[in-house]
Amino acid sequence: ERQLTALPDTRVARSAMVKAQVSVVDTDSAVTIANRIAPEHLELQARNAEAMAARCRAYGSLFIGAWSAEVLGDYCAGPNHILPTGGAGAYRGGLSVMDFLAVRTWLRLDERQAREVLPLAERLARVEGLDAHAKAAGRRLRQDP
């Protein structure tokens, strides 16, 4: 509250104080809540911040310890400030070089390897209701492609 008086406009800071912080009674609760809400910025200001950090799985950017302030990550010491919002930290992190790379997948099986997995492919395709896939697997299993 005291620090608010030094700001020219207190609206954003006051809103953040009310809406954007969570106080908990123990670190287990803190980690559980953090992983559930997947915040854009997650600051761990606790004696055991390192241990807590190891258990955190859903966040945009993680700030570990009293000296690792968000302001430093935002402006000069952090890896990135293009971060997932709205809980998207549950399934992705901040923008990285990986976002600009194309991941290519490929498959190469010889006849023995293919014949080993074709029965499974045929069954899975049938379970999924993909009859053409099931027939494609079955034909390969019973004859040459």
Nearest to 90 by CA among 56, 50, 64, 45: 56
**Residue 143 has what pLDDT?**
87
Catalytic residues: 40-41
**Residue 19 has what pLDDT?**
82
Q: What is the number of alpha carbons within 13 Å of residue 5 lying toward its C-beta? A: 2
Q: Give Cα separations from 112 to 94, 106, 126, 138 (angstroms).
A: 43, 18, 22, 15
Query: Could you give the domains of the chain?
Result: 3-96 (3.40.50.1980), 111-142 (no CATH)
**Residue 107 has what pLDDT?**
95
**Residue 145 has what pLDDT?**
66
Beta strands (DSSP E) in the chain are: 41-44, 61-64
Instruction: Give the residues of the chain that fall short of pLDDT 70.
Output: 145
Q: Which residue has the tokens 């299993």?
A: 141
**Residue 22 has what pLDDT?**
79
d(C-alpha 28, C-alpha 119), whole Å? 46
Strand partners, 42: 62
Q: What is the pTM of this model?
A: 0.66
d(C-alpha 15, C-alpha 124), whole Å? 52
Q: Which residue has the tokens 């009674």?
A: 25
Q: Which two tokens stand for residue 64?
A: 């570990």
